Structure 1
Amino acid sequence: MMMETWGAKVHPSPSDLTKVGRAILNKDPDCPGSLGIAVSEAVEMALSNSDTKYSLGSVLNHVLLHQTIIGEECLKQMAIVGEIPDVIIGCTGGGSNFAGLAFPFIREKLAGNMNPTIRAVEPAACPSLTKGVYVYDYADTAGMTPLLKMHSLGHDFIPDPIHAGGLRYHGMAPLISHVYNLGLMEAIAIPQIECFQGAVKFARTEGLIPAPEPTHAIAAAIREALQCKETGEAKVILIALCGHGHFDLFSYEKYLKGQMVDLEYPDEKINEAMAKIPSFLQ
């Protein structure tokens, strides 16, 4: 609505403006879309119009490195208060938010300056790290992008329409996949009702309504804090609150009315999607 207020025209993806979008809608008129489909449509539009450029904002390694300004600032902020985090938690979809927070701390961990637990949190409905396979795969649904070595659920995987739209992506950034494969970080998946429970608790405690994406980090932080309460262990927990929820209040309305449901992507659908990755990519 803000974009249209300023004169833009916004088309939901999949759209009837691209070959990719039309093909998907012909197959499934009720397709809920995904980040992978939107990337395919954007790439097609850029290739079809000489005056159009496409800039990727997530997943690719250069984006992750740009985002590390977040972690660099956190290092300075923690130093100001004289603390070192014991646990670092970030939500993960394509990976730029998590890497932006965690990578500078991984650097310090590798240098022997600290030894925090670094935990990625993804939706149970889109579990690319916890259930995906480490393969070469396309970054978009139509297979128009270069191949990336990443944890993937299959490039034509279309996750259920959960409320954390920014986390609905089939793969994980190559650098994060590599770091995960080296064992320098861990990953968990959390269902969305627990995430919104944490979000409401956070909002009523801190006065800020979180976007649906960072509610995953909040829920994981609450789990960690409750565990500390049981064991009596004191820990410094660092999370990234990467956005406010003012554009997502309809999600909070569904949660508060008891209309929100948990969605977990079944293994058989993941196996079906993985089977469609050409054997030469695996």
Structure 2
Amino acid sequence: VIVGCTGGGSNFAGLAFPFIRENLTNGKTTKIRGAEPASCPSLTRGEYRYDFGDTAGMTPLMKMHTLGHDFVPDPIHAGGLRYHGMAPLISHVYELGLMDAVAVGQLDCFAAGVQFARTEGIVPAPEPTHALAEIIRQAKECIETGEERVLLTALCGHGHFDLAAYDAFLSGDMSDHALSEESIQEALKSVPVIK
């Protein structure tokens, strides 16, 4: 099982695409999963359609999973994952069913980050804690079922500049942000309709 955090998608693609190739060309069956913020869930709750890559609408239209280029996510601490859309290549791979995705809440992410820091001695940036939360869930599932799996993720950054966020988590001042379907639909209204 390979799990990577997904925001714009470059870290995830670098980790997962070589394994997707192996699945397609050599018959491997590696499970590929993206982990995204529950407050900015472009893969799990966005729509697959043409949209702009920027809020000003200046880029060419790209087919991607999007929450709408006007979408403004809640102020979560994983700033690198607060993007309204998913990279077109990752969106296409997702549409083909070559990967799946999960949305992870901020509190679960930081709990995973603290566990990783205490275990490995490295404070992860908030972005990869989304993948860490899912990898930890997968590992616990293996313990419960007795199934053996190889689990792989990428730690794409340290959290030395995010210690205030960890302090907020540890002091109980952090919360999850519930994203309503209404706010997604409102942001999608500005997305061009391409027929």
Cα RMSD of the aligned pairs, angstroms, is: 0.9
1:118-137 paired onto structure 2 within 5 Å: 118-137=32-51
Equivalence for 2:144: 230
Identity of aligned residues (%): 66
Match of 1:32 in 2: none
The structure showing larger relative contact order (alpha-carbon pairs under 8 Å, at least 6 residues apart) is: 2
TM-score normalised to structure 2 length? 0.98
Between structure 1 and structure 2, the one with the greater Rg is: 1
- How far 1:178 moved relative to its partner? 0.4
Q: Which secondary structure does the structure 1 equivalent of 2:76 belong to?
A: coil
Residue 265 of structure 1 aligns with which residue? 179
Deviations 1:104-126 (A, max 9, x none): 11111111252110000000000
Residue 125 of structure 2: which of 202, 211, 226 is its match?
Answer: 211
Q: Deviations over 1:8-46 (max 9, x none)?
A: xxxxxxxxxxxxxxxxxxxxxxxxxxxxxxxxxxxxxxx
Give the 5 Å matches for 1:1-282: 87-279=1-193, 281=194
Gaps of 5+ in 2: none
Distance in 1 separating the partners of 2:118 and 2:106: 18
Aligned length: 195
Matched residue SS, 1:139: coil
Helix, strand or coil at the partner of 2:123 = coil
C-alpha distance after superposition, 1:159-212 (max 9, x if no partner): 001000000000000000000000000000000100110110100000000000
Q: Secondary structure at the match of 1:122?
A: strand
The runs of at least 4 aligned residues of structure 1 exceeding 2 Å deviation read none
AA in 2 matched with 1:261:
S
- Give unmatched runs, 5+ long, in structure 1: 1-86
* TM-score normalized by the length of structure 1: 0.68
